Every structure is written in structure tokens, then in C-alpha cells.
């Protein structure tokens, strides 16, 4: 899979979100807008989920002593990846009790958040992302195509990349075919359909 490469301007904007946001609700809205903006070319990708929770509910899960923190914490998660952000009493944002500088928080998110390293480059990647729930199922029939070489028969073909086709009509029945395998399958189906109509 490819990485989602942010421009220097986008990285600076990401850092400024932490520098210029003073409340959790504002931070949450700005982060949501930022994720939507940087993924606008990949609308099928699942974005991180964000919730504001009681900081006390995270004691001993994220940190071991009572932090100098607001009573609420922003949780951000996608798949098995989760982070926790709160504001300390001295006014700094704190990520997982480890990072307080906006540039460090952003660097950690860009390094570890799956969203920034799950840009599919072929249909095998698409299939994997669909199976682990990182692609929204409502976009199943609007997936990107990775090649100009379109198969002769596109019924139930969700995407192609010049070597393989991804077929199916729901996540539970996805299958990869080579172009040759797909052509042979279509020929067999057409043969049997013709036989049935002749009877």
C-alpha cells in the first residue's frame, strides 16, 4: 500500500490545529475537517472515529497516575489504533501522556495512524482493506480502477488493475481473478446460458 503524502502546507495546518484550538469540541471539529480534506480523493476510506469521554474513565488504561488534565479527553481511533488527547492544566495538549508539543503530536499521528498508510495501489490492497473494514461498504461499487485495461465483461467487477479483477457484490463474497480466469469463467457462463435458452 502507499502512504498518503501530505504537503508541507497540510502538515503546517495539522500542527496549527493543535496550536490554535483551545477546547476539545473545537479540536474535534477541526481534526474531523482536516481528515476529510486530506482524504477527499479517497472518499471510500474509513476516517478515524472521534469521541469526547471522561478522562477519569481512562485511568490505568492510558496513564498510571491522575494527570493534570481537563475532565474530558478526546479519543481518536480507527481499526485497532487508538490515541487519547487531553489538555493539561498548564494549557498544553497531551497525547497519550507522552507528547505535549503540537509538532510531536502531529508527527506521532502521521507515523502511527493507519489512515496515512492505507492508500491502495492495486485490487489486492482494496480487497484487504475491505475485509478488515477500512473501506466503507457503501462505496463498494465506486471503488477506484487502477488500469485503463477494462475487462470485456464488467458484471460484478468492482475494480481492476491490469493484472487482476476484484469481483463480488458484498464484502463476504469478494474474489480476485486474473483477466484470463475471468474471461474463461464468462465464456463458461455464456455457454451454459446459451444451452439453457436453446432447450
What is the reported pLDDT for 68? 57
35 has a pLDDT exceeding 70:
yes
What is the reported pLDDT for 106? 96
Instruction: Determine contact, residues 4/38, Cβ cutoff 8 Å.
Output: yes
pTM: 0.86
Q: Percent of the chain at pLDDT above 90? A: 71
What is the reported pLDDT for 182? 94
The β-bridge relationship of strands 164-167 and 175-178 is: antiparallel
Q: How confident is the model at residue 52 (pLDDT cuts 50, 70, 90)?
A: very high
Q: How confident is the model at residue 64 (pLDDT cuts 50, 70, 90)?
A: low
| Position with higher pLDDT, 12 vs 62 | 12
Q: How far apart (Å, rounded) are the C-alpha atoms in residues 114 and 31?
A: 15
Report domain extents, the chain: 8-117, 123-198
| Tens digits of residue pLDDT in 128-168 | 999 999 999 899 999 999 999 899 899 899 999 999 999 99
Amino acid at each position: 500500500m502507499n502512504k498518503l503524502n501530505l504537503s508541507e502546507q497540510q502538515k503546517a495546518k495539522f500542527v496549527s490545529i493543535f496550536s490554535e484550538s483551545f477546547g476539545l469540541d473545537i479540536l474535534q471539529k477541526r481534526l474531523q475537517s482536516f481528515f476529510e480534506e486530506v482524504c477527499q480523493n479517497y472518499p471510500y476510506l474509513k476516517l478515524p472515529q472521534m469521541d469526547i469521554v471522561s478522562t477519569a474513565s481512562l485511568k490505568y488504561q492510558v496513564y498510571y497516575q491522575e494527570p493534570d488534565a481537563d475532565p474530558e479527553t478526546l479519543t481518536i481511533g480507527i481499526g485497532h489504533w487508538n490515541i487519547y488527547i487531553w489538555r493539561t492544566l498548564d494549557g498544553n495538549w497531551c497525547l497519550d501522556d507522552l507528547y505535549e508539543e503540537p509538532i510531536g503530536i502531529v508527527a506521532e499521528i502521521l507515523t502511527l495512524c493507519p489512515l496515512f498508510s492505507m492508500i491502495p495501489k492495486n485490487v489486492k490492497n482494496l480487497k484487504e482493506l475491505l475485509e478488515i473494514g477500512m473501506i466503507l461498504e457503501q462505496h463498494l461499487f465506486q471503488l477506484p480502477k487502477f488500469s485503463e485495461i477494462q475487462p470485456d465483461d464488467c458484471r460484478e467487477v468492482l475494480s481492476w488493475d491490469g493484472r487482476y479483477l476484484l469481483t463480488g457484490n458484498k464484502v463476504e463474497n469478494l474474489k480476485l481473478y486474473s483477466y484470463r480466469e475471468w474471461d474463461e469463467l464468462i465464456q463458461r457462463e455464456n455457454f451454459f446460458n446459451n444451452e439453457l435458452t436453446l432447450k
